């Protein structure tokens, strides 16, 4: 591994661990009052430690009445990456939780800090300051690849064909962008106005995202050469599998699917170009911007072997939703030994319809 890749690997891990837990999520956090943090002390009545969100029910008393707060956090995948495991918090524990209260749902909070039953503080955002300075800090060990896994990855890496980790280019995520971030048509704006982020959000029902937004996720992706005519992409988030047909012709009669029908070709040794049609997925992003029936994508995957980087360029064309094509550049980095792993989504009763 070159010194440049070693430095990049360390930077990638650090940046991922520093991401606020509220961002690694599957619905917008705009409902939470972030100007004031509230505290709730009570007993853990229920624990839901599953993707897409960690959720606790805290039984407490307010104004002489028994109430339950629903406390939401980021995904299990995000918690595990920081070394936060399920056994740290159990049903029956008395805890104090600090976070941001919802402005839309009563007794609902996005958690940032937990004061555990043993008096230790668990900080759930990598870049957050401690809430209770006198409390001991929970010692967590961020997970990382073993030496054996690193060696195996370095031996098998071949251009595009390896596991890539997310390596942000800029603050903010396009797939959580508000309507004013996109050149939307009047029809798309009108439909957005009626979207409910809880009852209309497929990800909260464990329905995997389709194209193009499956390409905007902060978890590992891996490419494998299935055969000389087929590349398969596996994504950790929602255990997505995407097939890219090499040197094929468009097949308009192919049945539509959430991933669509992707055809690609190698422009040169390091550049894969992919066009996707027949996409049947209702949303362009994760916060309610709908897509139309004729959405297509054009992608370029450019591998920089020396830097250990995968540069990604996306162009989305959708005559129903967009007044002009939308373009986005993203970056993945190679962290040798990282594995895609299993996501294993399960619907919480909080979101059951």
Model pLDDT for residues 199-219, shown as the tens digit of each residue: 898 988 999 999 999 998 889
Question: Binning pLDDT at 50, 70 and 90, where does residue 75 land?
Answer: confident
Could you read off the pLDDT of 114-133 as tens digits, one per residue? 999 899 999 876 667 889 98
Residue 190: its pLDDT value, please? 96
Per-residue CA distances from 271 to 75, 106, 175, 265, 267 (Å): 33, 50, 24, 9, 5
Say how far residue 198 (Cα) sits from the centre of its chain: 17
Average pLDDT, the chain: 88
Sign of the C-alpha dihedral computed for residues 33, 39, 41 and 44 taken in this order: positive
**Quick check: 283 and 273 in contact, CB under 8 A?**
no
Dist. CA 192–CA 200, nearest whole Å = 11
Is the per-residue pLDDT at 82 higher than 70?
A: yes
Region 141-160: mean pLDDT is 92
Is the per-residue pLDDT at 330 higher than 60?
A: yes
Residue 24: its pLDDT value, please? 40
Is the per-residue pLDDT at 7 higher than 60?
A: no
Residue 177: its pLDDT value, please? 86
Residue 170: its pLDDT value, please? 65
Cβ neighbours of residue 12 under 8 Å, at least 6 residues apart? 165, 166, 167, 333, 335
Structure tokens at 234: 């596996």
Is the per-residue pLDDT at 87 higher than 70?
A: yes
Is the per-residue pLDDT at 181 higher than 70?
A: yes
Task: Show the beta-strand stretches assigned E in the chain.
Answer: 38-49, 54-62, 65-72, 94-101, 108-115, 120-123, 136-137, 163-166, 221-227, 230-235, 240-246, 261-268, 271-277, 296-304, 309-317, 326-333
Residue 249: its pLDDT value, please? 86
Is the per-residue pLDDT at 148 higher than 60?
A: yes
Residue 229: its pLDDT value, please? 96
Region 184-211: mean pLDDT is 92
Question: Binning pLDDT at 50, 70 and 90, where does residue 232 land?
Answer: very high
Region 229-241: mean pLDDT is 97
pTM: 0.85
Dist. CA 280–CA 263, nearest whole Å = 16
Residue 192: its pLDDT value, please? 95
Question: Binning pLDDT at 50, 70 and 90, where does residue 80 land?
Answer: confident
Cβ neighbours of residue 62 under 8 Å, at least 6 residues apart? none
Domains of the chain: 19-137 (2.40.50.140), 147-333 (no CATH)
Residue 339: its pLDDT value, please? 93
**Quick check: 146 and 154 in contact, CB under 8 A?**
no
Is the per-residue pLDDT at 31 higher than 90?
A: no
Say how far residue 183 (Cα) sits from the centre of its chain: 24
Q: Mean pLDDT highest for which of 16-25, 245-254, 307-316, 338-347?
A: 307-316
User: Strand 240-246 to strand 94-101: parallel, antiparallel, or no bridges (unpaired)?
Assistant: unpaired
**Quick check: 233 and 242 in contact, CB under 8 A?**
yes
Give the other-Cβ count within 10 Å of 276's Cβ: 22
Region 51-68: mean pLDDT is 93
Per-residue CA distances from 107 to 36, 43, 62, 90, 99 (Å): 15, 15, 11, 20, 12
Region 144-158: mean pLDDT is 94
Of residues 60 and 197, more confidence is placed in 60
The closest alpha carbon to 197, from 105, 328, 100, belongs to 105
């Amino acid at each position: 591994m070159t010194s440049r890749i070693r430095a990049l690997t360390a930077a990638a891990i650090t940046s991922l661990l520093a991401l606020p837990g509220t961002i690694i999520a599957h619905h917008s956090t705009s409902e939470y009052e972030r100007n004031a943090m509230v505290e709730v002390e009570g007993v853990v009545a229920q624990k839901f430690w599953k993707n897409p969100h960690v959720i606790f029910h805290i039984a407490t008393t307010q104004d002489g009445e028994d109430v339950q707060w629903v406390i939401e956090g980021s995904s299990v995948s995000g918690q595990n990456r920081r070394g936060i495991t399920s056994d740290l918090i159990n049903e029956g524990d008395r805890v104090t939780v600090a976070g941001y209260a919802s402005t839309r749902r009563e007794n609902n909070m996005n958690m940032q800090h937990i004061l555990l039953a043993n008096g230790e503080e668990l900080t759930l955002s990598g870049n957050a300051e401690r809430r209770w300075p006198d409390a001991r800090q929970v010692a967590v060990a961020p997970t990382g690849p073993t030496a054996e896994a690193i060696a195996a990855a370095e031996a098998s890496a071949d251009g595009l064909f390896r596991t890539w980790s997310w390596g942000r280019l800029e603050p903010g995520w396009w797939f959580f962008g508000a309507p004013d971030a996109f050149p939307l048509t009047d029809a798309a704006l009108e439909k957005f106005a009626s979207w409910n982020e809880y009852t209309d959000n497929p990800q909260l029902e464990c329905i995997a995202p389709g194209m193009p937004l499956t390409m905007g996720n902060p978890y590992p992706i891996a490419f494998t050469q299935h055969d000389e005519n087929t590349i398969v992409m596996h994504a950790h988030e929602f255990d997505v599998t995407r097939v890219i047909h090499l040197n094929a012709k468009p097949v308009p009669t192919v049945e539509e699917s959430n991933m669509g029908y992707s055809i690609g070709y190698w422009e040169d040794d390091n550049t894969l170009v992919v066009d996707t049609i027949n996409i049947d997925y209702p949303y362009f992003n994760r916060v309610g911007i709908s897509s139309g029936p004729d959405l297509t994508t054009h992608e370029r995957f450019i591998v920089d072997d020396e830097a250990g980087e995968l540069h990604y360029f996306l162009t989305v064309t959708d005559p129903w939703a967009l007044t002009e094509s939308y373009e986005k550049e993203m970056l993945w980095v190679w962290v040798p030994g990282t594995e895609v792993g299993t996501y294993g989504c399960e619907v919480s009763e909080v979101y059951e319809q």
